[in-house]
Amino acid sequence: MTERLSAITLNTFREAVRDRVLYNLIVFVLLLLASAPLFSQISIGMERLILVNVGLSSISLFGVLIAIFIGIGLVSKEIEKKTLYTILSRPVRRWEFIVGKYLGLMLTLTVNALLMTLGFYIALFITDRGLHAGDAPLLVSVYFSLLQFLIVTAVTLLFSSFSTPIFSAIFAFALFVIGTFADDLRDFASAAHGLTGLLATGTAYLVPNFSTLNVISRVAHDQRIAGALIIYNSVYALLYSAAVTAAAVLVFERRNLK
Amino acid sequence: MHAIEIEGLSKSYSVGFLKKQLRPALKGLTLAVNAGETFGFLGPNGAGKTTTLKLLMGLIFPTAGSATILGKPYHDPDVRKRIGFLPEQPYFYDYLSAPEVLDYYGRLSGLSASTRKQRVPELLHQVGLGDVGNKQLRKFSKGMLQRVGIAQAIVHDPEVVFLDEPMSGLDPLGRHEIRELIQGLKDAGKTVFFSTHILSDAEALCDRVAVVHKGELRGVGVMKDLRSGGGDKSEVIWEGAAALQVAQRFVLDSHVTGELVRATVKSTDLDSLLELLRQQRARLVSVTPLHGTLEEYFLAKTSEQEPARV
């Protein structure tokens, strides 16, 4: 089982690495980070703040975009091109295929985020003429972005297991946008009454809560992130993504590959 | 011993806007394939051949019926280690090279790293791709991809090989190469189950054939019997119309154009006729075996009037 899982995981990673779009995104992000000093020309004395905001937001947003745009084809592309036929006719269980694909994309996103983080810290080093103790907590935001990718990838994979790539992209992106405002949705739900309140509460707790994973402006202003929040977010992201991946497996187990 | 046993296998798809109508793609297929046999699964396009193979590979789920491969349920993971499959017009990860693809499939089939290291170059050589190096599959011709397809199907040395339209879309040379590869599998004692709508391929390779049409099994025939079923004839063309008078007793049918004679004879009379032509100093132009019976059998079984029966 481990051998088959790792084979699918590494092949998914290899596909992404050999896909030039991924390289273009990295180059684009590095260019974006390089443009930070340009922004600082407009806002004197705020170079670090702008760089942190732009850098961490780019790491998060580009990761989410990669997760969605690669994720939508993870299963559907394999069915469309029939590559799945030669895999599932072997001693590979359907759940192994889904989980292997999931882990492969997560490996891609993690490597991608690490490369971006490296670029980001290099930019920080140049801007601040060195690295300081206050730069370490910024990694919490990168960690939260990785947790965000866990959920986005699982959600996209779920849509990809039963829908077309275009609809999967629309659904996943819509859910990402709604999830970004999950805290506002919860505030609205607590203020609403009757059926509206019930529906809003249900939706607020069903959609992934991405707002709790966004601490960019807090770390940019050197605010401390509580250890409890790190633990809560870790458990939340792991459980949410595990549940959604399990749903993707359930859907895929029953699917006729026409 | 039967390598494959299919019992009442059926598949229907829901169609229509509300998916309330059922369209049958396969109706109660019952079939057995012997171990070591090369079995042709014939039928026109849309007959249910690919549906049957997809069911046996666990890619779609049956509406009714069951099947065993090598004595175990077709979906048993142990069975999957012992079978190989080439889908119709396969597509492989085109960013990989041929050795990478075979290594990947070997890994998924449970081969150890050392076995793969030895097996992959051997296999590439066997299918005539020994010199492709690390060229990505996106640069391969269709014939080369089909050879990769056969290689991935047998990378783990399976006992039963399923091939879906293996010669589809290939030029005559490509078809010949794939035919040779299938013959190699047959010679190695593998059970080969392949679907095709090209009768000459089935005729050249198969021990037995089954004909499916509109989702129903219309008949199963032994190739040897079909060949010897009164239709095994040869066409002989020679120059020297005068020899026809003497050879008339062997000739079933003849057509004369000037000095050129085209005659149909029973293959059992062929040697006698050739000896006679030599004596008559006629110049032999060609001898072509005619096996029209598979085509006749196929046409009879796929005609609208033919009732469904085994």
- Token pair of B211, please? 């004909």
- The C-alpha atoms of residue B241 and residue B103 are separated, in whole angstroms, by 63
B22: left (phi over 0), alpha (psi -120 to 50) or beta: beta
| DSSP track, B8-46 | EEEEEEEESTTS-EEEEEEEEEEEEEETT-EEEEE--TT
pLDDT band, very low/low/confident/very high, at A39 (cuts 50, 70, 90) = low
- Token pair of B16, please? 């229509």
Q: What is the CATH number of the domain that holds B81?
A: 3.40.50.300
**B307 located within any domain:** no
Residue B205 makes CB contacts below 8 A (sequence gap 6+) with B38, B40, B179, B182, B183, B186, B192, B194
- With contacts defined as CB-CB under 8 Å, which chain B residues touch A91? 77-78, 80-81, 108-110
Residue A40 makes CB contacts below 8 A (sequence gap 6+) with A46, A47, A50, A51, A127
Instruction: Give, as one character, the DSSP assignment of residue B215.
Output: T
- Token pair of A60, please? 């998060």
Residues B119, B252 share a domain:
no
Nearest CB to B60 within list A15, A92, A257: A257
**B264 located within any domain:** yes
- The C-alpha atoms of residue B310 and residue B308 are separated, in whole angstroms, by 7
Residues B250, B176 share a domain:
no
How far is A219 from chain B, CA to nearest CA, in Å?
A: 41
**B201 located within any domain:** yes
| pLDDT beyond 60 at B199 | yes
Interface of A with B (CB under 8 A): 3-4, 7-8, 11, 14-15, 18-19, 81-93, 254, 256-258
Determine contact: B152 vs chain A, CB below 8 A. Answer: yes
Interchain CB distance below 8 Å, A92 and B57 = no
In percent, the amount of chain B with pLDDT more than 70 equals 92
Determine contact: B15 vs chain A, CB below 8 A. Answer: no
How far is B44 from chain A, CA to nearest CA, in Å?
A: 19
Which of A85, A96, A255 should one mutate to test binding to chain B, selecting the residue with the greatest count of B CBs within 10 A? A85
The more confidently predicted of residues A144 and A49 is: A144
Contact B141, B152 (CB under 8 A): no
Residue-wise pLDDT tens digits, B168-185: 777 777 788 888 888 888
Interchain CB distance below 8 Å, A86 and B60 = no
Counted domains in chain A: 1
pLDDT at B310: 41
Q: What is the domain extent for residue A46?
A: 2-253
- With contacts defined as CB-CB under 8 Å, which chain A residues touch B87? 82, 85-86
- The C-alpha atoms of residue B133 and residue B97 are separated, in whole angstroms, by 8
Residues B254, B136 share a domain:
no
Determine contact: B270 vs chain A, CB below 8 A. Answer: no
| pLDDT beyond 60 at A56 | yes
How far is A154 from chain B, CA to nearest CA, in Å?
A: 23
**B217 located within any domain:** yes
**A57 located within any domain:** yes
Other beta carbons within 10 Å of B43? 25
Distances B158 to A91, B150, B162, B185 between C-alpha atoms, Å: 12, 12, 10, 10
Other beta carbons within 10 Å of A199? 12
Contact B49, B89 (CB under 8 A): no
Beta carbon pairs, A and B, within 8 Å = 78
| pLDDT beyond 80 at B20 | no
| pLDDT beyond 50 at A105 | yes
Residues B254, B222 share a domain:
no
Instruction: Give, as one character, the DSSP assignment of residue B91.
Output: -
Residue-wise pLDDT tens digits, A208-257: 988 888 888 888 787 888 889 999 999 999 999 999 999 999 999 988 88
- The C-alpha atoms of residue B281 and residue A193 are separated, in whole angstroms, by 108
Residue B250 makes CB contacts below 8 A (sequence gap 6+) with B265, B266, B269, B272, B273, B276
Q: What is the mean pLDDT of residues B18-30?
A: 82
Nearest CB to B57 within list A3, A7, A85: A85
Residue A18, phi then psi, degrees to nearest 5: -85, 0
Residues B175, B261 share a domain:
no
Interchain CB distance below 8 Å, B109 and A91 = yes
Nearest to B152 by CA among B211, B213, B96: B96
pLDDT at B308: 46
Residues B250, B150 share a domain:
no
Other beta carbons within 10 Å of A257? 18
Closest-CA residue of chain A to B101: A11
Q: In degrees, to the nearest 5, what angle opens at C-alpha B248 toward C-alphas B245 and B251?
A: 140
Residue-wise pLDDT tens digits, B227-255: 665 557 787 889 988 898 888 888 888 88
| pLDDT beyond 60 at B202 | yes
Other beta carbons within 10 Å of B169? 12
SS3 B241: coil
Residue-wise pLDDT tens digits, A156-208: 999 988 888 888 889 888 988 888 888 888 888 788 878 888 888 888 888 89
Please count the residues of chain B.
310
Interchain CB distance below 8 Å, A86 and B89 = no
Residue B164 makes CB contacts below 8 A (sequence gap 6+) with B49, B50, B53, B85, B86, B87, B88, B194, B195
- Token pair of A58, please? 């780019």
B298: left (phi over 0), alpha (psi -120 to 50) or beta: alpha
| pLDDT beyond 90 at A29 | no
Residues B87, B56 share a domain:
yes
Residues B252, B142 share a domain:
no
- The C-alpha atoms of residue B224 and residue B217 are separated, in whole angstroms, by 20
pLDDT at A144: 95
- Compute the mean pLDDT over every residue in chain B, rounded to the nearest whole number: 85
**A76 located within any domain:** yes
- Compute the mean pLDDT over every residue in chain A, rounded to the nearest whole number: 85
Interchain CB distance below 8 Å, A91 and B81 = yes
**B283 located within any domain:** yes
pLDDT at B54: 93
pLDDT at A79: 86
- What predicted TM-score, i.e. pTM, was given to this entire model? 0.81
Burial degree of B26 (CB within 10 A; 0-12, 13-18, 19+): buried
**B73 located within any domain:** yes
Interchain CB distance below 8 Å, B108 and A92 = yes
Residues B272, B192 share a domain:
no
Q: Which of residues 82-111 of B touch A (CB under 8 A)?
A: 83-87, 89-93, 95-96, 104-105, 107-110
Interchain CB distance below 8 Å, A14 and B89 = no
**B145 located within any domain:** yes
- Token pair of A173, please? 């992106």
Which of A89, A96, A252, A253 should one mutate to test binding to chain B, selecting the residue with the greatest count of B CBs within 10 A? A89
Nearest CB to B108 within list A7, A19, A258: A7
Q: What is the domain extent for residue B248?
A: 233-290
Counted domains in chain B: 2
pLDDT at B289: 73
**B62 located within any domain:** yes
Give the bridge partners for B211, in sequence order.
B42, B219
Interchain CB distance below 8 Å, A91 and B87 = no
Q: In degrees, to the nearest 5, what angle opens at C-alpha B142 toward C-alphas B137 and B144?
A: 60
Burial degree of A43 (CB within 10 A; 0-12, 13-18, 19+): exposed
Contact A144, A213 (CB under 8 A): yes
Interchain CB distance below 8 Å, A257 and B59 = yes
Q: What is the CATH number of the domain that holds B264?
A: 3.30.70.100
- The C-alpha atoms of residue B88 and residue B26 are separated, in whole angstroms, by 18
pLDDT at A85: 92
SS3 A214: coil
- The C-alpha atoms of residue B167 and residue A3 are separated, in whole angstroms, by 33
Residues B218, B167 share a domain:
yes
| pLDDT beyond 50 at B309 | no
How far is B240 from chain A, CA to nearest CA, in Å?
A: 57
- With contacts defined as CB-CB under 8 Å, which chain B residues touch A81? 91
| pLDDT beyond 70 at B18 | no
**A258 located within any domain:** no
Interchain CB distance below 8 Å, A15 and B95 = yes
Give the bridge partners for B4, in sequence order.
B33, B69
Residues B251, B136 share a domain:
no
pLDDT band, very low/low/confident/very high, at B85 (cuts 50, 70, 90) = very high
Residues B117, B22 share a domain:
yes
